[in-house]
Structure 1
Amino acid sequence: MLEITGVTAGYGRTEVLHDVTVSIPAGHAVSVMGHNGAGKTTLLRVATGLIPVMRGKVLIDGEDVTKLPPSKRVKRGLGYVPQGQQSFPQMTTLENLQLVAKRQSDIDEVFDLFPVLKDLLARRAGLLSGGQRQQLAIARTLLTKPRLLVLDEPTEGIQPNIVADIERVIIDLTRRGDLSVLLVEQHVGFALRSTGTYYVLQSGRITMTGEGGAAAIDSVRDAMAI
């Protein structure tokens, strides 16, 4: 689905990523973990087309999209949920969803994933908790029917019960086989339980990769010195 191959990228003349290769097969969830400053968000900006690459390629379904802008990558099935539980704060939960929904049945489907939103339809998004806004942000992106869901630090500042809900949703969606997920995360346990393959990014380089799952948590934590 998505191939980031030999990418070096950064800001101005400063290189942040150095010869990074990450692969997200169709129907799979992949996590990229690392501390603040490791280059995780830069990697997502490369994937989504928000910054150019200095060297390397970005492929979607085998097509070179390295020079395509974000809007054209969205048309190829990319959906991006950035950090910060973003929403339109003066609009209600329902209005936020209606902005992108084509049918009421699509909204009903995201209620199956995030049932708490159904009880918050009339509440302005700015009055929701951080965890509720994060669920809303993910739900709104899913309404665009992406084939690749890109999540940037979805657990940041979120209460544990909602972290568990987001973990469940990622697992459920990828089990269906029609959605790929690229998850960037510091929360090692959440990332490894949610995804089948992981990469560790340190100082802009991939230093470790392997199969996800709870059994990998201790070794990844040791490697990251957490």
Structure 2
Amino acid sequence: MLQMLDVEAGYGRTSVIHGVTVEVPADGVAAVMGHNGAGKTTLLRAAVGLLPVRAGRILLDGEDVTGLAPHQRVRRGLAYVPQGQQSFGQMTTAENLQVVADGKRNGQTLIDEALDLFPVLRDLLTRRAGLLSGGQRQQLAIARALITEPRLLILDEPTEGIQPSVVSEIERTIMALTGRGGLSVLLVEQHVGFALNAAGRYYVLASGRVTAEGSGGTTASTDVRAAMAI
């Protein structure tokens, strides 16, 4: 679904990622892991189009989107949930969902489906998003992204600062979504156990380069931890 081929990107005169190749399988999950400063978020910003690439190509379902703006990639089925449980804090949970659903003929159906995936949000529809817990805001952010009906969902550190029970719920939701087909996920994560449980393929970044890659699953944990020098 997504191929990032020999991608280089950075800020100003500083290069952050160097010749990185990452592939996300159709209807599957790929995880990118690494310590802070490894270049993970830069990689995602390049995938979304928020950061122009200096070299390499980005293909979305076989189409070269390297030169397309972020909104053009969104129209082709890409959705991005950035780090930090972002929401419209002064709006209610319901309003946060509705603002994404507006303009879609099946908007209410999409909202209902998102609430089925994250039922805790049903009891919080009238509460302002700024008053939700970090875990609740993260679920809201993912629900909003899913209302856009993406073919590729990009998640940046979805478990950061979230209690274990919510981490497990997000993991189950990701696996359920990819298991029914029609959705691929690119996951950036420092939580090794979560990433390997969810992903069929993993990549480890260090200093902007891929230092290890392989198939996911819990048996890969030793190799990943060694690559990350944990």
Q: Which residue of 2 aligns with 1:136?
A: 140
Which aligned pairs between 1:25-174 and structure 2 lie closer than 5 A? 25-101=25-101, 102=104, 103-174=107-178
Deviation at 1:25, TM superposition (A): 2.0
Q: What is the letter of the counterpart of residue 44 of structure 1?
A: L
Deviation string 1:112-140 (CA, Å, 9 cap, x unpaired) is 21110011111110000000000000000
Report the number of matched residues.
226
Q: Which residues of structure 1 form unaligned runs of 5+?
A: none
Q: What is the letter of the counterpart of residue 155 of structure 1?
A: T
Which aligned pairs between 1:136-215 and structure 2 lie closer than 5 A? 136-215=140-219
2:117 and 2:220 mapped to 1: Cα distance? 27
Q: What is the letter of the counterpart of residue 112 of structure 1?
A: D
1:21 and 1:218 mapped to 2: Cα distance? 22
Q: Which residues of structure 2 form unaligned runs of 5+?
A: none
1:69 and 1:117 mapped to 2: Cα distance? 32
Deviation at 1:181, TM superposition (A): 0.1
2:228 and 2:161 mapped to 1: Cα distance? 21
1:57 and 1:124 mapped to 2: Cα distance? 41
1:201 and 1:35 mapped to 2: Cα distance? 8
Deviation >3 Å, runs of 4+: none
Partner secondary structure for residue 210 of structure 2: strand
2:75 and 2:189 mapped to 1: Cα distance? 25
Deviation at 1:87, TM superposition (A): 0.5
2:116 and 2:150 mapped to 1: Cα distance? 17
Question: What CA RMSD, in Å, does the superposition of the two structures yield over aligned residues?
Answer: 0.8
Question: TM-score, length-normalised on structure 2?
Answer: 0.96
1:43 and 1:54 mapped to 2: Cα distance? 12
Deviation at 1:219, TM superposition (A): 2.1
Q: What is the letter of the counterpart of residue 70 of structure 1?
A: P
